[in-house]
Structure 1
Amino acid sequence: MTVLTEPHTMPPSNDRRGVDVALTNVRLVLDDQIIEAGTIVIRDGVIEAVGRTATAPPDAIDGRGMLCIAGLVDTHSDGFEKELRPRPNVVLPADFALRSFESRVRAAGVTTVFHGVGFENGSKYDRSVEQAHLLCDTITTRRADADARVDHQILYRLDVRDTDGLVALETRLNQRHGDLLINEIPLVSAEDHTPGVGQYTDRSYYERYIAGTKGLDPDEAKQYIDQIVADRDDKLDNVDRALSWLANRAHGGTIRLIGHDPTSAAEIDAAVERSVSIAEFPTTVEAARRAHERGLRTVSGAPNVVRGGSHSGNVSAAELVSLGLCDGLSSDYMPTTLLGAVGTLVHDGVCDLATGVALVTSGPADTVGLADRGRLNVGQRGDIVLVDFDGRLPTVHLVIAAHDHVAPMPIGASK
């Protein structure tokens, strides 16, 4: 087989053995090009060869001309929390909810997912510090299972006004609780969801949201949010303590710190002083541009792209992509929007296919420091997806993760 890159032999690993599989007749989406009629070979869960071929390996699966991309890396998913509570007053067992959501993630082409776990005691999102510990324990346990279908990681989300949340997160990170962390560096997001701050700078959007979800009239919704603001203003003293603690950890390199929903250049400058390295969901072009100027990675929401704009009146993610101010997309609350966003961006002429794919593969991997995945390069993890697009609409045909036990059957084959 003639390939663009030489076969690569990985050093011995203590990790469980990975999948052996080859695919041919696929369109390989690389960083800077698309290779037609390509072949990719994965041995022991690692990409061994990739490129054009005249003769495919005899065991190769015919990809029928579909796109072959690296497995998606989702750096912010709240889906586990939502899976846990599918209806009001219904709470599923955490281990069942995680495996259920794992199937949704995998079907969307995601092979690495960072589950957002909120460290706070608050009724708005049905979060508590007890639940936060439970979710972290469940994620860690599942990640260690040999049959886990994706690589489960944790995004620690701290409400900076919540004293209980700060104590709980401090305890968890100090004691480690056996959490399995990327490069041993936890990913932590500093967040303030007070109406009038960050995402809901224009609180009228939140008032309409509350009116719709709670069946309130406009005046009742306004009074409801006034009370939320008053309650949270009583917790302002905790903000400085939380931000100082996070900054000290980030300065020391013991956490990778995210600034959530930055709104301005001034906020970005303050974030840099706290050793923030990622600007997540910037709400304005000004904030995103300043983040790039200051060397921060930027993450926007894939649902924003699919919907055609922000549901809370903030900047369009597609606009940030067009301006070169977005390094990656995350699913936020819906895994299927990642490939949906790629299809939308390419269909609308915002970017080319390779750029769109990078926003959900190599871009997010680089943002959180995962150098071993996100690209179809020799030596990378063998996480790959076969997908095609009908206009802007994606269909996932096959997902292979590095540590799958069994190679997939050829498409259309019978047992």
Structure 2
Amino acid sequence: MTAGILERVGEGGWTLAGAPRNFVLGHVRAVLPDRVLDDARIVVRDGLIAAVEPHTPGTLSDVDGQGMLCLPGLVDVHSDGLEKERLPRPGAELPIEFALVSFEGKLRAAGVTTVFHGAGFEDGMAGGLRRSVRAAEETCAAIDNHTHALVAHHILYRLDVRCPTGLAALRRRLDTVSGVPLVSHEDHTPGQGQYADRRYFERYLMGTRGYAEEEAKQQVDAMIEKRNERLSVRTEALDWVGELAQAGQIRLLGHDPDSAAEISALCTRGGAVAEFPTTREAAIAAREHGLPVVMGAPNVLRGGSHNGNASGQELIAENLVTALASDYLPSGLLAAAFDLVRFGELDVPSAIRLVTEGAAEVAGLTDRGALAEGLRADLVLVSLSGQWPAVRSVLPAAVPERSTR
């Protein structure tokens, strides 16, 4: 440790606009990858963590953490919350630029400092939501043009493999992006994957559209018939993303895999992540192939899948889950993590890893996700005074964000 690390900032101080590049945070309970360090001191230099050490008597700090938990900034690898922010009620669509700013506030309140927004390159209904290529392109443009962001915004490109217009649009988009973007291939045709039991989708239509039971069945029949006419598009799409993945041009996620055979095909295709496996068989196969596994935080909070699929809690108990994603509820990340602690499934470091270091691994980000020397100083202070964790302060790293868009 250098003498400089013993000193406070002393170079312009702290403003309300955000944390400086150099500061010392004292008297926190630092959640490290393998333990919780009580009464810790975190030294930040040039926006990176320089030291995490005991706060010994006589050493100074710029701000007192008052004994709160200090976590790495949360990484959310799959968020569909922005599309809900844009369309809070049917027919009440808001400007996407406003929705992004509004949703950013919810992300910060949840302790999220890095987010991958789902942009659905599809036309029609998938997973119960109306999506369009136009909306996806507008979302991408809004994120591209969003300046002075308080959160590191990235895009998870979600490709409906049976949508020809979505495939064409994503081809155009990926020709313009830098880095190695995250791409998820998905097929929400009822009768497989997420809706392996089509009755769950029929019930959704009955509940949200007011269809009678027979009418919902007819709608699902028509959807399956229409999508089965596009099997050649599916083959073309999977071949294309496989070529990109094998060339290292994208990081490929397989969405809703439901069998060991599907995991094997994903690996052959160059896939890197199993996202929301719908069965225990698929989750086990993914880990056997060395793939990280992502499950939804709402699944854990609810104690099971709303579609009758695999339980996140049960897969976590078997050590099959690498990361949790918010899916559609950012505040669910910390709540799910501490639920796992409360019910004795995991200790605090292991639970927090699911929404920080594990999620960073899923995204292929090696510069964040842990309170460790040399990593980005994305810091979150959390109070555990009530039943649910409460984010009290978010200190994003004062360093430029690398682009994967």
Q: Same fold (TM over 0.5)?
A: yes
2-structure distance, mates of 1:129, 1:18: 40
Equivalence map 1:300-339=2 (5 Å): 300-339=295-334
- 2:364 corresponding residue in structure 1: 369
Cα–Cα, structure 1 residues 56 and 85, in superposed 2: closer, same or farther, change >3 Å? farther
Which stretches of structure 1, 4 residues or more, deviate above 2 A after TM superposition? 17-22, 55-60, 123-126, 388-392
How far apart are 1:36 and its partner, in Å? 0.6
2-structure distance, mates of 1:41, 1:56: 15
- 8 A contact 1:346–1:392 mirrored in 2: no
Q: In the alignment, residue 168 of structure 2 is paired with which amino acid?
A: V
Determine which of 130, 136, 141 is the counterpart of 1:132: 136
- 1:167 corresponding residue in structure 2: 168
Q: In the alignment, residue 129 of structure 1 is paired with which amino acid?
A: V
Q: In the alignment, residue 109 of structure 1 is paired with which amino acid?
A: G
How far apart are 1:195 and its partner, in Å? 0.8
2-structure distance, mates of 1:227, 1:47: 55
Equivalence map 1:1-400=2 (5 Å): 19-55=21-57, 58-123=60-125, 125-142=129-146, 145=147, 147-174=148-175, 176=176, 179=177, 184-390=179-385, 393-400=388-395
1-structure distance, mates of 2:372, 2:59: 18
Q: In the alignment, residue 99 of structure 1 is paired with which amino acid?
A: V
Residue deviations 1:216-242 (CA, integer Å, cap 9, x gap):
222221112111111111111211000
How far apart are 1:60 and its partner, in Å? 2.6
Q: In the alignment, residue 153 of structure 2 is paired with which amino acid?
A: H
2-structure distance, mates of 1:78, 1:108: 15
Cα–Cα, structure 1 residues 93 and 69, in superposed 2: closer, same or farther, change >3 Å? same
Cα–Cα, structure 1 residues 275 and 404, in superposed 2: closer, same or farther, change >3 Å? closer
How far apart are 1:18 and its partner, in Å? 5.5
- 8 A contact 1:347–1:392 mirrored in 2: no
- 8 A contact 1:304–1:311 mirrored in 2: yes
How far apart are 1:47 and its partner, in Å? 1.1
**SS class of match (2:389):** strand
- 8 A contact 1:2–1:51 mirrored in 2: no
Residue deviations 1:174-223 (CA, integer Å, cap 9, x gap):
2x1xx4x5xx1010000001111111101111111111111122222111
Cα–Cα, structure 1 residues 404 and 367, in superposed 2: closer, same or farther, change >3 Å? closer
1-structure distance, mates of 2:145, 2:51: 33
Comparing 129-138 with 47-56, greater Cα deviation is found at 47-56
Q: In the alignment, residue 354 of structure 1 is paired with which amino acid?
A: P
1-structure distance, mates of 2:6, 2:124: 54
How far apart are 1:312 and its partner, in Å? 0.3
- 8 A contact 2:298–2:332 mirrored in 1: yes
**SS class of match (1:393):** coil
Gaps of 5+ in 2: 8-18, 401-405
Query: TM-score with structure 1 length normalisation?
Result: 0.89
How far apart are 1:404 and its partner, in Å? 8.3
2-structure distance, mates of 1:323, 1:78: 27
Gaps of 5+ in 1: 8-16, 406-415
Residue deviations 1:79-138 (CA, integer Å, cap 9, x gap):
111111111111111111100001100110000000000001114533222221111111
2-structure distance, mates of 1:320, 1:60: 42
Root-mean-square deviation (CA, aligned residues, Å) is 2.1
Identical aligned residues as a percent: 50
What is the aligned residue count? 386
**SS class of match (1:208):** helix
Residue deviations 1:324-346 (CA, integer Å, cap 9, x gap):
10000000001000001111111
How far apart are 1:43 and its partner, in Å? 2.6
- 8 A contact 1:119–1:132 mirrored in 2: yes
- 2:15 corresponding residue in structure 1: none
Q: In the alignment, residue 167 of structure 1 is paired with which amino acid?
A: A
2-structure distance, mates of 1:294, 1:151: 30
